[in-house]
Chain A
Amino acid sequence: MTRLLASLRIALRALMVNKMRSALTMLGIIIGVSAVIAMIAVGSGAKKRIAEQIASMGSNLLIVMSGSSTSGGLRFGMGTVPTLTVDDAKAIQVEIPGVKYVAPNLGGVAQVVFGNQNWSTIVNGTTPEVLDIREWPLASGRSFTQQDVDGAGKVCLVGKTVAENLFGGIDPAGQIIRIKNVPFTVLGVLSSKGQSTWGQDQDDIIFVPLTTAQKRLFGMQFPGMVKQIAVQAREPELMKDVEGQINDLLRQRHHIQAAQENDFTVRNLTEVMSSAEQSANVMSLLLGAIASISLIVGGIGIMNIMLVSVTERTREIGIRIAVGAKGNDILLQFLIESLVLSLIGGIMGIGVGVVGTVVLAAFTQWPTLFSMQAILLAFIFSGSVGVFFGFYPARKASMLNPIEALRYE
C-alpha cells in the first residue's frame, strides 16, 4: 500500500514536470471521451424519441384496413373499396381471445366551425376504446361513452391543435361546434401527442362516435361500413397469433375462397416501428464506434509520450533499479502515470462531452439523452485505454538493464 501511494506520488510529480506535454496527451483522451459521450447521447436520444413515438401510437397495435379490390380488370389500392363492417370488429373482439380492445373507425377530412373561426381537420368516427388502444388520456373534460355510440350522439373530443385553432383561450368543454354543418357538443380535449414518426401532427384530430360519423357525416355505402379497425393484442407475444386469427376470421366472414385474395389487409404497426428502432440502434452503434476510434487514437498518443518519457528517464530508471526497485515497481510507476493521464483526461472529457452535447442539442434541436451507464462506460473505457497503451512502455522500462541505464546520457 505504501509502495502504491509512493508510486502514485512519483507518477503525479513526473506529470507535473512536463505540464504542457501531459496536457496535450490528455487532450487526445478528452476529445475521445467527449466524442463518445456526445455520440452516445445523440444516439440514445434518437432511440428514446422513436420509443416515445411507438408508445404514442399505442402498443401491440394491429390495423385492419379494407383491402384492395379488382373491378373490371382495374386493381385498386388498399382502402379504396370499403369491405369492413362494425360486425367484423365485434366478431374480432368476441371470437379472438388474444384481443384486448377493438376500435373500428370511419373518418375523413371535414371543415369545422366554431363562432367565426373555422378549421379543416381529420374527423374520426370511432368507439371510446380508441383512447385505451392509443394510450391517449384527456387533458380536460370527459370522453364519450358506448351510449353515445349506440345513440349516435352528437358529441366529440377535440385534439390539442384543433382546440387551439378554434377556441383560442376559451375552454372548449361544453361548447358547440359545427362539423359539416352538424352541431356537436365538445365533451373533452385530448392531451398532446406531438408529431408522429412520419411528421404528421397527431393532435390535429376530432373523435366522434362511430355511428354519428356513419349517419351524419360521411355516409355508408352499406350498413355498418367502417374504413379501418384498430386492434390491440393483450401481449406483444400474441401479435403474430392474433394477426393470423384475424386473417382467418375475416376470410371466413367475407366468404373468400381459398384461391382468392384477401379483400382486407392486416398491418402490424409495431413491427414497422421496431424496424425504425433497429435502424436507430445501428446508428447509435455506428456513432459510438466512430467516437471510439478517436479514443483509441488518443491512447496511441499516450503510448507515444510514455515511450518518449521512458527513453528520457532511462538514467532515473537505472538509479531506481540500482537502489532496489523491482521490475514491478518500475512497471507500476509508468503504468500509473499513463493511467492518471487517461483518467484525468476521461473525467475532463466527460465534462466537455456533457457540455458539448447540451450546446449541440440547443443549436440543432436534436433529442439527446445522457445515461449514467454511458458516462461510466466512457470513463472505464478511457482507463482501459490508459492501461492498454501504457503497458508496453512501462514494460519496456521495467526490463531495462541497470548497468546500461546508469550509463545512459
Chain B
Amino acid sequence: MDSLIQVHDLVKVYSLGEVEVQALRSVSLSVKRGEFVAIMGASGSGKSTFMNILGFLDRPTSGQYLLEGIDGQNLSMDELAEIRNRKIGFVFQGFNLLSRTSALENVELPLVYAGAPTHKRKETAQKALSEVGLKGREHHHPSQLSGGEQQRVAIARALVNQPSILLADEPTGNLDSKTSEEIMGIFQRLNRELGITIIMITHEPDIASFAKRNILFKDGRIVDDHPNSAPTAAAGAGGRK
C-alpha cells in the first residue's frame, strides 16, 4: 500500500499579539491508503490544528505535508480550494449543513463548485445519500432531521466527490452514544467496503476504539501511535445489505 499522507517535521506557531503559541512542535506521520485513524488528545493538544493543516484549511509554519504527493505550501487559496473540493471530505462536530436547504442540495454543494452539470449533481448526490441510508429523505431540511441524520447528510456531502480522504473532526461530539455508534458503523463500512481512508479526531476512547489505528497528541507532539488490532465492531457495521 502506498503512502497517502506524508507529514514531516510539521510546526505550527500562532502569534497572539506578543505571545507565541506553539500548536504543533515537529509532528511526523505517514498514513497509507485505506487506513482508519483516530487522533486523540486533550483540548489544546494540537489535534485540531493538525486536522486543519491536513484539510488544507491552514498552512504549517514549517515542515512538509504531502497529500498524494501534493505539497500545498506554495499553492494559492484557489488552488487549495480545488484540492479540498476534489480530494478531501470534511465531517464536522456541528454538522455544518446549510440551513433552509434540502439534504440533497447540501450534498450537491461540492459538486456545484466542481462545476458538475445539474442532472449529474442530482444523480450523484442521491447515490451518496442512499449510501448513508437516507434514501427518501432527500428533500428534508436539516431542521427536519435528527442529529444522527444530519451527520449522515454531512458524511454523504463529504463522500460525494469521491475524495482521497475523509477528515472527521469530533463527528460524534454532538450525538448520543447510540447514534454515535451508528455513525461509527457507517465509517467502518465505508472504510471496509469502499476503501475510503478516514482520519478522525475524537477525545472519547470509546469512539477511538472503532478505528484501526490510534494516535495520541499531547502538547503539539505525537506521544503514542499504535495499531488497534481488534477494533470494536459497531452494531450495524455490517451495513445495509
Q: Could you list which residues of chain A lie within 8 angstroms of chain B, going by C-beta atoms?
A: 2-3, 5-6, 13, 17, 315-316, 318-329, 402-403, 406
Residues of B within 8 A of A2 (CB): 112, 115-118
Q: Given A316-B98, A322-B57, 11 more contacts at CB 8 Å?
A: A2-B112, A13-B101, A17-B100, A319-B96, A322-B84, A323-B113, A325-B81, A325-B113, A327-B77, A328-B78, A329-B113
Which of B78, B92, B98, B100 interacts with A326 by CB under 8 Å? Answer: B78
Number of A-B contacts (CB under 8 A): 62
Bitwise, B75-116 to A at CB < 8 A (1) or not (0) is 001100110111000101000111011000000011011111
Given contacts A315-B96, A406-B96, contact A324 B114 (CB under 8 A): yes
> Contact between B58 and A403 (Cβ–Cβ < 8 Å)?
yes
The secondary structure that dominates the A interface is: helix
20 residue pairs from A and B, CB less than 8 Å apart? A2-B115, A3-B112, A3-B115, A6-B112, A13-B101, A315-B96, A319-B96, A319-B97, A319-B98, A323-B84, A323-B90, A324-B85, A324-B113, A324-B114, A325-B81, A325-B113, A326-B82, A329-B113, A406-B92, A406-B96
A158 and B100 alpha carbons, distance in the complex (Å)? 78
Q: How extensive is the interface on chain B, given as a class?
A: 20 to 34
Residues of B contacting A402 in the complex (Cβ-Cβ under 8 angstroms): 57
* Minimum Cβ distance to chain B for residue A75 (Å): 85
Give Cα A324–Cα B55 distance, bound, in whole angstroms.
11
- Which residues of B are in contact with A by a Cβ distance under 8 Å? 52, 55, 57-58, 77-78, 81-82, 84-86, 90, 92, 96-98, 100-101, 109-110, 112-118, 157, 161
Please give me the residue from chain A that is nearest to B78 by CB atom: A326
Q: Which residue of B lies closest to A316 (CB)?
A: B98
**Which residues of chain B are within 8 angstroms of A406 by Cβ–Cβ distance?**
92, 96
Residues of B within 8 A of A315 (CB): 96
- B109 and A327: CB pair below 8 A? no
* A13, A316, A320, A403: the one within 8 Å of B113 (CB): A320
- Known interface pairs A3-B115, A329-B113, A403-B57. Does A324 touch B96 (Cβ–Cβ under 8 Å)? no
Chain B contacts for A321, CB-based, 8 A: 81
Decide if A322 touches B113 in the complex (CB within 8 Å): no
Chain B residues with Cβ below 8 Å from A318 are 96
Provide the bound-state CA to CA distance between A406 and B52, in Å.
Answer: 11
In Å, the complex CA distance between A323 and B105 comes to 13
A2–B116 alpha-carbon span in the complex (Å): 7
- Chain B residues contacting A403 (CB-CB under 8 Å) are 52, 57-58
A322 touches B112 (CB 8 A): no
The answer to whether A324 and B98 touch across the interface, beta carbons within 8 angstroms, is no
- Nearest B residue to A329 by beta-carbon distance? B113
> CB-CB < 8 A to B118: which residues of A?
2, 5
| Cα-based distance from A13 to B115 in the complex (angstroms) | 19
Q: Which residues of B contact A322 (CB under 8 A)?
A: 55, 57, 84, 90, 96
Residue from A3, A13, A320, A326 within 8 A of B109 (CB atoms): A320
